[in-house]
Amino acid sequence: MEETPQRVMSFIFACTDSSQDECLKRMLFGTSKQYGALAIRVKKGDSLFLLNLDTDLLYGVFRATSDWKLNIEPDAWKGNYPYQVRVEALGEVVTIAKAKSLLKGMGITGLSVIGKKGTLKLLEFFRPYNKPAKEWQESLFRMKGNKEATILGQRNWEFLGKIEKLTDDIEEVPQLQATTLWDFPRQSYGKTPKGDNKYAGVTPAELIWNLVWRYTEPNDLVVDPMCGSGTTLDVCKEEGRKAICYDISPPNGRKDILKNDARKIPLEKDSVDLIFVDSPYGDNIRYNDEHANIGNISSESKTFYDELEKVISECHRILRTGKVLGWLIGDQWVKKRFTPVGFEVYNRLCKYFDTVEIICIPRRGQYSHTGFWFNRARRLNFYLRGYKYLFVMRKPQEGKKQTIEERKVSWTFNDRDKNAKNKEEQT
Ligand SMILES: C[S@@+](CC[C@H](N)C(=O)[O-])C[C@H]1O[C@@H](n2cnc3c(N)ncnc32)[C@H](O)[C@@H]1O
C-alpha cells in the first residue's frame, strides 16, 4: 500500500460572497499582504480549503498545483489579493456548513499552518460516506486533480465526527501589530528558534517580523549591522527575504553572520530595502571583548552618540530612498542619574531620516524585574526601565518634504454632547 506523502500540510483561504466565484472560476486562491505570511508557506501539493466568511461554508478538498506566487493572475479580484496559489479540486467538492464553529473547535484560526495530523483530522470531514478513512486518504493524495470544481450539497459536520482541538499540530504565524504599543511576552514564535534567547540583549523576533511584513516585499534585502545572535537573519529566512547580517563579534557556530564594524558597512549605496538595528544602549552589557564594540562606551558620554551616528550615516548611505530603518533603544538610569539615551539617538537619527513612527516596546524578561528590585525602586524613589523605543525612520527623497501649508488635515470631531444625548434618548 502506498504511504501518504512526506509533507502533509493544509491551509484555509478565506473568501466572501463577492470573491468566491472568481476563486472557483479561475481555480486560484488569493489573499492580501495582511495574510501574506500564511500564503508564502504554501507549497505545491499542499491541501487547501476555501472558507466563505459570509455564508460560513467550507469547501474542500483542493490541492495547490503551484507554490505560492505574487500575482499569478494580476487582474484577479481587481488586484486586491496578490498572494496567490493555483489550485485543483480533488474529486467532487464537499461543502461543510457552520464551518467557523468547526474550525474554532479544532483551534484553527485565519493564521494557522496545519500540520500532518491536523490535516488528516480535517480531511475526515470531507470523506465520502462509503470509503474507509485510510483507503480514502491514500487515494486522495494520489488522485489526479480536476481543473473545475463540481460542488456537492451541504454537510452538517456535527453528525460526521467528534472534534478535537489540534494543539501541537498547528503553527500560528504572527499577526501585524495595529497600535504603537508592541508587547511580546516571548522572545520567539513558531516552531523554530529565532536568534538565541540566552544572548544578552536579544531582540524579540516578532518585532523584526512586524518590520519585515510592514516595510518589505518577498525577496527584498534586509540588513542588520549589529545582529548579535542573528534574530533578524532567522526571521528573514522564514519570511522569504534576503538578509545580510553583521556583528563585531559573531557568535560561535554562526557562519552566516559576518564579522564587521557597523561604522563601515561593505555594501553599495542605495542597495538595501530595510535595516534593523538593536544597538548597545551604553556599557551596561558586556557583549564581548572587541575593542571596536560600541557597547564599551558609556551612554553618559558624547562619544557614544558620535560613534552611533557613524552607524546611522552608513545606514543612510546603503538604504534605498523611501525605505525604512528600525532602531531599537532604551534609556538608562544608573547611580542616581537618568540618561535619555533614546532621545539622544533619536536626535541623531533625525539629522538623516524622516520619522514614520515611534513605537513603545515593553521590556520583558529583565533581570531587574524581580520583587527585590521592585521593592527597592519604591523605597528609594527611582524607576526601573519599563519600555524601549522603536524608532521607525524613512530615508527621505531630497527636497520632498511637504510644508505645513501644503498639508490639509480635516478632522472628524466626535461630538460628545450629541452622543451623550442620543444615549439618554435611547434609555
Ligand atoms: C543588543 S545586541 C543585538 C541583539 C540582536 N538583535 C539579537 O537579537 O541577538 C547589540 C550588538 O551590537 C554589537 N556591536 C557592538 N558594537 C558593534 C560594532 N562596532 N559593529 C558591529 N556590531 C557591534 C554587539 O556585539 C552586540 O551583539
Answer whether 91 contacts ligand 1 (Cβ < 6 A). no
Distance separating alpha carbons of residues 353 and 105, to the nearest angstrom: 48
Task: Count the Cβ atoms, other than its own, within 10 Å of residue 249.
Answer: 15
Sign of CA dihedral 205, 206, 208, 212: positive
Atom of ligand 1 nearest to the CA of 307: 19
Atom of ligand 1 nearest to the CA of 328: 1
Task: Give residue 310's pLDDT.
Answer: 98
List beta partners, residue 57: 52
The C-alpha cell 545606514 sits at: 315
Per DSSP, the three-state class of 275 is strand
Nearest residue (by CA) to ligand 1, atom 13, is: 226
Find out whether 249 and 287 touch, Cβ atoms under 8 Å. Answer: yes
This prediction has a pTM of 0.93
CATH superfamily of domain region 205-394: Vaccinia Virus protein VP39 (3.40.50.150)
d(CA 287, ligand 1 centre) in Å: 8
d(CA 275, ligand 1 centre) in Å: 14
d(CA 332, ligand 1 centre) in Å: 18
Q: Pinpoint the alpha helices (H) of 180-301.
A: 205-215, 231-238
CATH architecture of the domain 10-172 equals Roll (3.10)
Find out whether 87 and 63 touch, Cβ atoms under 8 Å. Answer: yes
Answer whether 280 contacts ligand 1 (Cβ < 6 A). yes
Distance separating alpha carbons of residues 138 and 18, to the nearest angstrom: 35
Q: Give the pairing of strands 112-114 and 151-156.
A: unpaired
d(CA 384, ligand 1 centre) in Å: 23
Per DSSP, the three-state class of 27 is coil
Task: Give residue 153's pLDDT.
Answer: 84
Who contacts 250 (Cβ-Cβ below 8 Å, separation ≥6)?
257, 258, 259
Answer whether 284 contacts ligand 1 (Cβ < 6 A). no
Distance of alpha carbon 266 from the chain centroid: 28
Residue from 43, 5, 4, 10 nearest 114 by CA:
10
Cis upstream peptide for 61 (omega within 30°): yes
Nearest residue (by CA) to ligand 1, atom 16, is: 293
d(CA 66, ligand 1 centre) in Å: 40
Answer whether 204 contacts ligand 1 (Cβ < 6 A). no
Answer whether 228 contacts ligand 1 (Cβ < 6 A). yes
Amino acid at position 344, single letter: E
Answer whether 248 contacts ligand 1 (Cβ < 6 A). yes
Residue from 283, 282, 184, 284 nearest 235 by CA:
184
d(CA 347, ligand 1 centre) in Å: 21
Per DSSP, the three-state class of 408 is coil
Domain ranges of the chain: 10-172, 205-394
pLDDT in tens, the chain (427 residues): 556 678 999 999 999 999 999 999 999 999 999 999 999 999 999 999 999 999 999 999 999 999 999 999 999 999 999 999 999 999 999 999 999 999 999 999 999 999 999 999 999 999 988 889 889 888 998 999 999 999 998 888 877 667 888 877 899 999 999 999 999 999 999 989 999 999 999 999 999 999 999 999 999 999 999 999 999 999 999 999 999 999 999 999 899 999 999 999 999 999 999 999 999 999 988 989 899 999 999 999 999 999 999 999 999 999 999 999 999 999 999 999 999 999 999 999 999 999 999 999 999 977 788 899 999 999 999 999 999 999 999 999 876 666 777 888 888 887 777 766 666 666 5
Query: How are the residues of the chain apportioned to helix, strand and coil, as percentages rounded to the nearest 5?
Result: 30, 25, 45
Mutate which of 188, 244, 245, 247 for ligand 1? The one with the most ligand atoms within 8 Å of its CB, which is 247
Cell numbers given for 77: 479580484
Cα 151–155–161 angle (5° rounding)? Answer: 135
Distance separating alpha carbons of residues 208 and 293, to the nearest angstrom: 23
In three-state form (DSSP H/G/I as H, E/B as E, the rest C), the secondary structure along 295-339 is HHCCCCCHHHHHHHHHHHHHHHHHEEEEEEEEEEECCEEECCEEE
Burial class (CB in 10 A: 0-12, 13-18, 19+), 56: middle
Distance separating alpha carbons of residues 144 and 311, to the nearest angstrom: 56
Answer whether 46 contacts ligand 1 (Cβ < 6 A). no
Q: What is the dihedral of CA 194, 196, 202, 203, to 10 degrees?
A: 10
Who contacts 399 (Cβ-Cβ below 8 Å, separation ≥6)?
none
Answer whether 310 contacts ligand 1 (Cβ < 6 A). no
Distance separating alpha carbons of residues 208 and 11, to the nearest angstrom: 24
Find out whether 85 and 29 touch, Cβ atoms under 8 Å. Answer: yes
